Amino acid sequence: MRLLLCGDIVGRAGRTVVIEHMPRLRRELRLDFVVANGENAAHGFGITDTICAELYAAGVDVITTGNHVWDKREIISYIDGDPRLLRPINFPAGTPGKGHGVFSLTDGRKLLVVNAMARLFMDAIDDPFIGLDKLLDAHPLGAVNAILVDFHGEATSEKMSMGHFCDGRVSAVIGTHSHVPTADAQILPNGTAYQTDAGMCGDYDSVIGMQKEAAVLRFVRKMPGERLQVAEGAATLCAAFVETDDATGLARRIAPLRLGGRLTAHWPEVETVGVAAS
């Protein structure tokens, strides 16, 4: 199965690069399923039902989120009606929405998508390790053809620990939230693809997607700055490409994808259809 996880989509610039390139990415990389983290899609903060519809129309199958999921409050009443929009699985019991879903491809293959959130330097929420452990007991590889985990977190140590914790039990653990791609894409010893952070889909002439002047001033002066505004220059689409073995559910390859905007382009070295990145 060929999967793509796009990191946090930040604002209009991030949405534009994803929507513009997704049809050809699906075609050229022969993607079976696309997941995108949309927690910053609405002007940097949260997501709306309209944006969900735009991303689905472009070819995104499932949208994951994180700490910014409720920034646009209208999504609170929307989320229970949309099984393709996930919030972290380890939010307290009773929270609207779901943290996982089993999705069927048109050819009958099944994929479990999980959205979990880390705790170090983040909000106090339920233990993501226990949450994953329970979920994977209920939905082991074998019952589904592939399992993709979006682990939304700040600390590289906690994300790497989650990778090893899940190694051999899921197809891929890909980090989101830091808005910067890491260069550690690898297949762990027991067969799980891993990358600490996919990076954001956003304007990299910024401070993690926010206009740089105000963001820098917050560090230079020890006083609250003006409200951060989303950066709207040309965005780089950052994602992790994963190919799994349908029989075992384990990973055959993982490669970062970077396309457009300021970051050095990187196209997964896989058999593709058509031309390479521009």
Q: Which of 201, 195, 200, 167 is nearest to 183 (CA)?
A: 195
Binding to Fe ion by residue 150, rule CB under 5 A? Answer: no
CA 235 to chain centre: 16
What is the closest distance, in whole angstroms, from the C-beta atom of residue 177 to Fe ion in the complex?
Answer: 4
What is the closest distance, in whole angstroms, from the C-beta atom of residue 247 to Fe ion in the complex?
Answer: 35
Nearer CB in complex with Fe ion: 87/177? 177
Known active-site residue 152? no
Stretch that binds Fe ion, among 58-66, 120-128, 142-150, 262-270 (CB under 5 A): 58-66
Name residues whose C-beta falls within 8 Å of residue 237's C-beta, 6 or more positions apart in sequence: 6, 17, 18, 21, 201, 257, 258, 259, 260, 261
Binding to Fe ion by residue 66, rule CB under 5 A? Answer: yes
What is the closest distance, in whole angstroms, from the C-beta atom of residue 68 to Fe ion in the complex?
Answer: 5
Stretch that binds Fe ion, among 23-31, 65-73, 89-97, 130-138 (CB under 5 A): 65-73
Greatest CA span in the chain, whole angstroms? 57
Stretch that binds Fe ion, among 16-24, 96-104, 137-145, 175-183 (CB under 5 A): 175-183
**Token pair 């390479």 is at which residue?**
276
Nearer CB in complex with Fe ion: 70/267? 70
Nearer CB in complex with Fe ion: 64/67? 67
Q: Are 181 and 238 in contact (CB under 8 A)?
A: yes
φ and ψ at residue 16, rounded to 5 degrees: -60, -45
CA gap 185, 44 in Å, rounded:
26
Hey, which bits of 133-231 come out as E strands? 146-152, 172-176, 186-187, 193-195
Binding to Fe ion by residue 8, rule CB under 5 A? Answer: yes
Which one of residues 61, 177, 239, 240 is an interface residue with Fe ion (CB under 5 A)?
177
- Subset of residues 102 to 121 that bind Fe ion, contact rule: CB under 5 A: none
Q: What Rg value do the Cα atoms of the chain yield, rounded?
A: 17
Q: Which of 58, 88, 77, 75 is nearest to 177 (CA)?
A: 88
Nearer CB in complex with Fe ion: 177/258? 177
Nearer CB in complex with Fe ion: 8/243? 8
Nearer CB in complex with Fe ion: 11/191? 11
Choosing from 68, 100, 152, 179, the catalytic residue is 68
What is the closest distance, in whole angstroms, from the C-beta atom of residue 27 to Fe ion in the complex?
Answer: 28
Binding to Fe ion by residue 87, rule CB under 5 A? Answer: no
Which one of residues 3, 26, 36, 40 is an interface residue with Fe ion (CB under 5 A)?
40
CA gap 99, 102 in Å, rounded:
11
Please name the amino acid found at residue 85: L
Cα–Cα distance list, 194 to 23, 117, 156, 166, 174 (Å) = 25, 16, 12, 10, 6
Binding to Fe ion by residue 67, rule CB under 5 A? Answer: yes
Please name the amino acid found at residue 269: E
Q: Active-site residues: which are they?
A: 68
For binding to Fe ion (CB under 5 A), which residues are involved?
8, 39-40, 66-67, 177
